[in-house]
Amino acid sequence: MSAVGGGWAPRGLAVLALILLNACVATGVGVDGAVGVDYDAGYYEPWGYDYGGWGHGYRVGPGRGDDHRRDGDHPHGDAGPRGDHPSRPYRPAPASRPTPSIPSRPRGH
Amino acid sequence: MSSSIPRRRSSLQRLAALLLPVICFSVSRAASFELPPLNAPPSTEHHVGKVVWADLVTPDLGAAERFYGGLFGWTFQSVHTGSSDYAVALANGRPVGGLFQKSIPAGEHRQSAWLTFIAVPDVDAAKRAALAHGAKAVTGIRNYPLRGRQTVLSDPEGAVFAILASSSGDAPDFLAAPGEWIWSSLLSRNAGAEAAFYQQVFSYDVFDLASDDGLEHVILSSDDFARASVNAMPGDPARRHAHWLNFIRVDNTVDMVAKAVASGGRVLVEPHVDRHGGQVAVVADPAGAPFGLMEWTSSDSKAEPK
């Protein structure tokens, strides 16, 4: 009889643990890939840095598809066997390709 | 004694029967938070490496709505559940970004900012690739069933960005209308190394640009469209940190800068002619979040600006 009574507590604890685990999955607590119930992508940047002060000629925008590539050392495009270039950490697009611009087609056309 | 066991079992069953609906209700209430899809109707297109969304984090959602609504005519759709206050910004009825209110602990200084979301087909694979190439995880991966699967990362220089596999696909490549995001730039210490990182994660084509400021500027491209630029930061690097900066298309940059200032914003970079021949500027909203303004008209000069 005591075995019957003693069996309830572990089973109850197991059920409670499952419920709590389910709640954690549903709320995203500690589980990568969980359904988000609150928004956690809000990220504040550190305080006190300078976002202005661009000097003359400092340009960050796209061109119109007719921009000059940087002169130099990859006149025939990709260099190494994998396309790597010794002077750059990235693999530059072949020099024969013009620098693309942003989409020009208006919505609805 | 023998009759006390069934009574005990019965009371436990009654207790469980009472508790279970309460717990299940709590869980289902908690899980009801939902962000709307990026595209309605859904798009069948996917554009890896395209900037598809931006979220503002701000301590005052109401003030942000008044500022951006007044400046660009955005309207807002509130999503409020649990501890999250979030509003989807709509330009001409189309979702363009989110505004998320998050309090700043007393005594702390934090910089309000727009978070840039880049499209990927597989968040888990992209996260693994990013971490393998020097990124750090800022948040875990989260599913918002209608919006998609997303996570926030910081790149090797610490610039924070998000990756998103949209449940409704990626918007077709159209020219942004005024009031919509048109361009994104990463400002970094080592533009070449940062371009290499993003190329590894998003398979961008990278185009290095000639510049007359002596600094490195490159264009990241996918689907044969320019998606973003990576730029060596100007000025004193000690006073700057790597960050993404997004630009909203406007009809007249000078007028919009004046309007932003009149609405409580401030100018970070004065209007000037950029590479495409139109004027750009950088302003901060009343909470300090920087964003860019960019003219883009068919009549802009293609000549290199002087």
Q: What is the mean pLDDT of each run of 10 residues along chain B (306 residues)?
A: 55 58 46 79 95 96 98 94 85 94 89 97 98 97 94 97 97 96 97 98 95 91 97 88 97 98 97 94 97 84 41
Cis preceding-peptide flag for B41 (omega within 30 of 0): yes
CATH number for the domain that contains residue B56: 3.10.180.10
Tell me the residue range of the domain where B201 lies.
51-295
Lowest mean pLDDT among A1-15, A17-31, B24-38, B66-80: A17-31
Residue B82 lies in a domain: yes
| Helical spans, DSSP H, in chain B | 4-30, 61-72, 123-132, 191-202, 253-262
Cβ atoms < 10 Å from Cβ of B53 = 26
* Token digits of residue A22: 């389910």
Number of domains in chain B: 1
| Domain-embedded: residue B241 | yes
Could you tell me if residue B103 is inside a domain? Answer: yes
Packing angle between helix B61-72 and helix B253-262, nearest 10 degrees?
Answer: 150
Per-residue DSSP letter, A77: S
Is B86 part of any domain?
Answer: yes
Shortest Cα distance, chain A CAs vs residue B175, angstroms: 5
Please give the radius of gyration of chain B, using alpha carbons only, rounded to the nearest integer: 23
Kindly give the pairing relationship between strand B142-144 and strand A34-35: parallel
B12 assigned to some structural domain: no
pTM strictly above 0.90 = no
Q: Does any domain span residue B224?
A: yes
Does residue B233 fall inside a structural domain?
Answer: yes
- The interface residues of chain B toward chain A in range 13-42, judged by CB-CB distance below 8 A, are 16, 20, 23, 26-28, 30-33, 35
By C-alpha distance, which of B63, B210, B97 is closest to A57? Answer: B210
Q: What is the pLDDT of residue B45?
A: 93
Which residue in chain A has the smallest CA separation from B162?
A: A41
* Residue B64 belongs to some domain of the structure: yes
Q: Is there a contact between B211 and A57 if contact means CB atoms under 8 Å apart?
A: yes
